[in-house]
A and B are shown apart, each in its own frame.
Chain A
Amino acid sequence: MNKIKVVHYINQFFAGIGGEEKADIKPEFRNEVVGPGLALMQQFGEEAEIVGTVICGDSYLNENVEEATKVILEMVKAAKPDLFVAGPAFNAGRYGVACGTIGKAVKEQLGIPVVTAMYVENPGVDMYRKDLNIVSTTNSAAGMRKAIKPLAALALKLGRNEVIGSPAEEGYHVRGIRQNYFAEKIGAERAVDMLVNKLKGEAFETEYPMPTFDHVEPGKAIKDLSKAKIALVTSGGMVPSGNPDRIEASSAQKYGKYELDNMGETAHGGFDPTYANDNPNVVVPTDALRQFEAEGVIGSIHPYYYSTTGNGTSVKNSKAFAAEFTKELVAAGVDGVILTST
């Protein structure tokens, strides 16, 4: 079998040319193995070889993306490789972005499999994790040896066109891709195994890690409720009859702003809508709040409610919705918000 031909991309620093003062060098191609390529070659053994190395200054690439990409694509194309490896970039931001930028261009425009490697907080990870396999590394080049092994292993698999395992198995950053597979044990067994391990105080690994949530300082308490303006917001999907804005039943892409009187049904697809459609107050307690307003317990009610469906809706979308309508709440002088969820 022929050896898999690899082109390797590195920056000026790992090529031994220089540090920041040489970060503006233009792309060059060498018909040889340079820097970390030597360690990669050791791992490749007889299966693959680096036929050429592209070297480019990090600043040059980031400041001249179009020009540099064009030139580098020509270099890679001329070498006719079966595989393209970039980095590892560790936590070097511009280098990581460079590896991702060039990697994505090679993959999409030349149709060659690509793998790179960097530290989780390298901005290149979030920018390119959806496009590329990015092997997870430590944050500095001290972790080179640890990084090269999984990088070379994944590179060989890609070069051989083999099926790639999960991020945990192969050591790359989660790409947000769901793949069906046949597990040895059914879900119920796996769940019980996990529970037993948890009860025993032993390690267990979730199959569905939850996103991490940041925390926000609590708002200052309202001093005089009788003068306060209260607003109602809901993730329960209450909308005017007929759902005029077509708010999605789940994974909402939008929210609605409506007059408080205009609440007729729920758009939410994640619960039995019978009660909410029968009496919207069970999801947004407008009637109770109105009574408190009439009794003078609160000053006034913001005349609009803001609504979306909370099921399956991404944190990103929810944040964007709220960031937008919060400007209105602030402008309207709202003193406190009651947010209801089903």
Chain B
Amino acid sequence: MVKEIERSGIPVVHLCTVVPISLTVGANRIVPAIAIPHPFGDPALCAEDQLKLRKDIVKTALEALTTEVTDQTVFDVK
């Protein structure tokens, strides 16, 4: 789906837990997520901290969308 969307010219960032799959499939902008059943949350944290965590990941994703890439790039969450 990532590639089919990107074929249209719209940049796509793939937020996913299993980065090697994303690399194999051919996503160009990749941001690693936390865990398969909760990519953007951590049940060990309180709701507030989880939202903060989620915002950090989404912020990285938005930065990835504003970054020009020529090849597959993994953007780690700061």
A174 to B44, CA, bound (A): 47
Are the C-beta atoms of A326 and B4 separated by less than 8 Å?
yes
Say whether A322 faces chain B, with CB atoms less than 8 Å apart. Answer: yes
Residues of A within 8 A of B5 (CB): 233, 322, 326, 329, 337, 339
A62 to B18, CA, bound (A): 47
Residues A271-301 near B (CB distance < 8 A): 271-276, 279, 281-283, 285, 287-289, 291-292, 297-298
Residues B47-64 near A (CB distance < 8 A): 50-51, 54-55, 57-59, 61-62
Q: How far is the CB of B29 from chain A (nearest CB, A)?
A: 7
Residues of A within 8 A of B59 (CB): 292, 297
Of the candidates A274, A282, A329, the one having the most CB atoms from chain B within 10 angstroms of its own CB is A282
Are the C-beta atoms of B40 and A216 separated by less than 8 Å?
no
A279: which of B15, B28, B41, B68 is its contact (CB, 8 Å)?
A: B41
Number of A-B pairs, beta carbon distance below 8 Å: 170
Are the C-beta atoms of A340 and B62 separated by less than 8 Å?
no
Say whether A319 faces chain B, with CB atoms less than 8 Å apart. Answer: yes
Residues of A within 8 A of B39 (CB): 236, 282-283, 340-342
Residues of A within 8 A of B22 (CB): 341
Seen from chain B, the residues whose Cβ lies within 8 Å of a Cβ on chain A are 1-18, 21-22, 24-26, 28-29, 33, 36-41, 43, 50-51, 54-55, 57-59, 61-62, 65-71
Are the C-beta atoms of A274 and B37 separated by less than 8 Å?
yes
A238 to B49, CA, bound (A): 23
For this complex, 23 residue pairs linking A to B, each with C-beta atoms less than 8 Å apart, are A215-B3, A216-B26, A218-B70, A221-B69, A230-B65, A275-B38, A282-B50, A282-B54, A287-B51, A288-B57, A292-B58, A297-B59, A319-B1, A326-B7, A330-B8, A335-B11, A336-B13, A339-B14, A341-B16, A341-B17, A341-B21, A341-B22, A341-B33
Shortest beta-carbon contacts, A-B, top 4:
A219-B11, A282-B41, A322-B4, A218-B28
Nearest-neighbor residue (CB-CB) of B57 within chain A = A285
Nearest-neighbor residue (CB-CB) of B22 within chain A = A341
Q: A275-B38, A339-B15 are in contact. Are A216 and B62 (CB under 8 A)?
A: no
Say whether A213 faces chain B, with CB atoms less than 8 Å apart. Answer: yes
Say whether A235 faces chain B, with CB atoms less than 8 Å apart. Answer: yes
Residues of A within 8 A of B69 (CB): 218, 221
Are the C-beta atoms of B37 and A233 separated by less than 8 Å?
no
A223 to B62, CA, bound (A): 11
Contact with B along A25-47 (1 / 0, CB 8 A): 00000000000000000000000
